[in-house]
Structure 1
Amino acid sequence: MEVPSILLNRILSEMAKKNGSDLHLAVGSPPMIRVDGEFSALAGQEMMTSEMLSKISETFLSPEEIVKLKESKSLILVKNISNFRFRINIFYQKGLLSLSFHYVPSVIKDFRELGLPEVTGNFLKINSGLLVIAGAYNSGKTTTAVSLLEEINKTSVKNIITIEDPIECLFVSKKSLITQRQVASDIKTAVDGLDYCLNEDVDIVYLNEIKDEEIFNRAMLKIFELASGNCLVILEINTDSSVRVLEKVLAGVSQKMTVEAARYNLADILVGVVVQKLNRRRGGGLILANEILLNNAAIKALIREGKIYQLESIMQMSKKEGMITLEKSLAGLIEAGEIRREDI
């Protein structure tokens, strides 16, 4: 068998040559990669075996991580391999090890290059409240969040704390001070990180997706408290519409306060919601479609009254303010010839 580290490096190099974003390794299958949203086998590679995957994982896991994997049966972490940075998901299926690698760019993109609506630049000027960045897996949520943070880092003097699980992009403090804290290594849970922030002189707090529902519900109370003060909280949520974002937030915080209090608090602190969807572009590459919700007076009233199912109609009537539904954004891309309807 080929030396495991050399095998992994060769496969990752092949993926990089094809500008792949993700690599998947499973027993009984050749390496599979995703390029511009297309999923396909990596040509010229042999089938993966259980022994191969065990040996490959041992090349980048520490002894402590190997023990944790055996105990929990899954592990998500970020590693530098062959001068590239990857978010790695290690898990078992049918009792066999499987691995997935998601490429994390070493350079943080300028938020103006992401294809975001112009109105999103206004979020950089907000000093307090809750900004939610949502979308499905691999929709570019983290790319957008870190790009906004990096722009603030370059242009404003702020104290920024990130709470991440795991830390993907590495920041270098510029005008701002950025402290990155990783769940399980720097803090026990996201809730502990938020408790620290509540007792710290902090301007901006960023949290990537909180996967554990109980932790998310507990965290939402702390997030509400931070956002109602002099702090901007940027939160990632894995869902596909502004309505579902607000439903999830309200469901979480309503565990500890009345539904009415939750709605009124959310109406007061919400800055906006950005929902993203990456789509295959005609001619190659990916292009972003966005839903933008801004918390104007009409939106605040709907949230307080519990009529969030009517959000879309207000968004459609508030186009001049910069709001847009995901459906309208996708329709615009189809009309412009950027994407095909069948690729959505």
Structure 2
Amino acid sequence: MTELLKICQMVKVKGASDLHLFPDQPVFYRLHGAIVKLEGIMLNEDQIKRIILETSSPKAREILGRQRQVTYAEDVETVGRLRFSVFLDKGKFAIAIRFISEKIFELEDLGFGEGVRKVISSPSGLVLVGSPSGEGKTSTIAALLNFVNSHFEKSIFTIENPVEYVFKDNKSAFIQRSIPVDISNFYNGLCEAYRVDPDVVVSDSINYSDAMDQALTLCESGCMVIGSTEGGDCHQILDRLISCREPAEREALRARIASQLKLIISQRLVPR
């Protein structure tokens, strides 16, 4: 893992959020939203394969062999927690790596006030968090869960791809399931959640029709569901979820969402 440690330490101190490793090509990292070349370092495919072997579990490698792609998270000594997305590029293995913040923010750190705290204190309902990839959805959801964990005695069940922030039980108790290592997909995870008596359920994606339907069923049964989705503004988030359905299904879905929806958070990061 020497190559990975060296590269991660070089770019993390610069404030990089992501790292891109392709065989026999320059290493790139993302800094303040822009892609930057890391001069003087290039990895071959054997080195990239070694990184995969040293950071992944047998289950993740089994999935990689079957599906030709896998996403997992791993704690790397001296670097921190990383999210690995492994895939094939022109027939060779490549990796996109996300640096996961060690800090779980308070709601106040992110500018959320009493209104959000009041909503997330509700016993049930639907909360949607939307943004483009890399714009902070996961950090916002972690802050919401951190608030619940600090103030309420609840059972929290998460379905994530993969588990990024690992929570320690405070007032609440956590079950964190990772796709595809622990559970195959979001729908199956939400069905499983229904059977373990949760108070709060988090779905890393609520874009799939079957997952959305099951999330609403959980809300209707008395759970708070926090769902992550791709985002525009609040209106666009709702329109996207509804318009992807067959026309005959849209009115019924609109009515179910209207009866359960508590809050939509649409966000963007401000460039430095």
Question: TM (normalized to structure 1)?
Answer: 0.73
SS at match of 2:42: coil
Structure 2 residue 254 is the aligned partner of structure 1 residue 263: yes
Query: What is aligned with 1:274?
Result: 265
Pairwise CA distance, 1:133: 0.2
Are 1:183 and 2:179 an aligned pair?
yes
Runs of 4+ in structure 1 deviating by more than 6 angstroms, as ranges, are: none
Q: Which residue of 2 aligns with 1:226?
A: 218
Residue 37 of structure 1 contacts residue 279 of structure 1 at CA under 8 Å; is this kept in 2? no
Q: SS at the partner of 1:174?
A: coil
Matches within 5 A, 1:1-12: 5-12=1-8
2:69 aligns with: 74
1-structure distance, mates of 2:131, 2:178: 22
Rounded Cα–Cα distance in structure 2 between residues aligned with 1:51 and 1:10: 17
Q: What residue number does 1:198 align with?
A: 194
> CA-to-partner distance for each residue in 1:156-211, whole Å, 9 max, x for gaps?
1112111112111111111112221223333333222222333343211111125x
> What is the percent sequence identity of the aligned residues?
26
CA distance in 1, matches of 2:250, 2:57: 45
Per the alignment, in what secondary structure is the counterpart of residue 139 of structure 2?
A: helix
Between the two proteins, the alignment pairs up a number of residues equal to 271
Q: Which residue number in structure 2 is paired with residue 335 of structure 1?
A: none
Aligned residue identity for 1:273: I
Distance 1:218 1:257, change over 3 A: farther
Aligned to 1:100: 96
Indicate the residue corresponding to 1:156 in structure 2. Answer: 152
The alignment's C-alpha RMSD in Å is 2.1
The DSSP-based 3-state class of the residue aligned with 2:268 is strand
Matched, 1:139 2:135: yes
Q: Which has the higher contact order (CA 8 A, sep 6+)?
A: 2
Match of 2:237 in 1: 245
CA shift digits 1:81-119 (9 cap, x unpaired): 124101111111111221111011223111211234653
**How much has 1:21 moved relative to structure 2?**
1.1
Q: Deviations over 1:48-69 (max 9, x none)?
A: 3223222322222344433432
Q: Please list the CA deviations of residues 308-329 of structure 1 after superposition, one character each: whole Å capped at 9, or x if unmatched.
A: xxxxxxxxxxxxxxxxxxxxxx
- Are residue 20 (structure 1) and residue 16 (structure 2) matched? yes
Cα 1:185/1:54, change in 2 over 3 Å:
closer
Letter aligned with residue 68 of structure 1 = I
Paired letter, 1:245: I
- The answer to whether the 8 A contact 2:190-2:203 is kept is no
Assess, with a 3 A threshold, how the Cα gap between structure 1 residues 204 and 54 changes in structure 2: closer, same or farther: same
The residue identity in structure 2 corresponding to 1:81 is V
Counterpart check, 1:56 vs 2:51: yes
Gaps of 5+ in 1: 282-344
Partner Cα separation in structure 1 for residue 60 and residue 195 of structure 2: 32
Q: Once the 2 structures are TM-superposed, how far is the Cα of residue 147 of structure 1 from its aligned partner?
A: 0.7
| 1:284-303 paired onto structure 2 within 5 Å | none
Structure 1, 107-116 or 130-139: larger mean CA deviation: 107-116
1-side partners of 2:248 and 2:192: how far apart?
A: 22
Partner in structure 2 of residue 32 of structure 1: 28
1:217 and 1:255 in contact (8 A); partners too: no
Contact preservation (8 Å) 1:159, 1:202? yes
The one-letter code of the counterpart of 2:154 is K
Secondary structure at 2:167 match in 1: coil
Partner SS state of residue 269, structure 2: strand
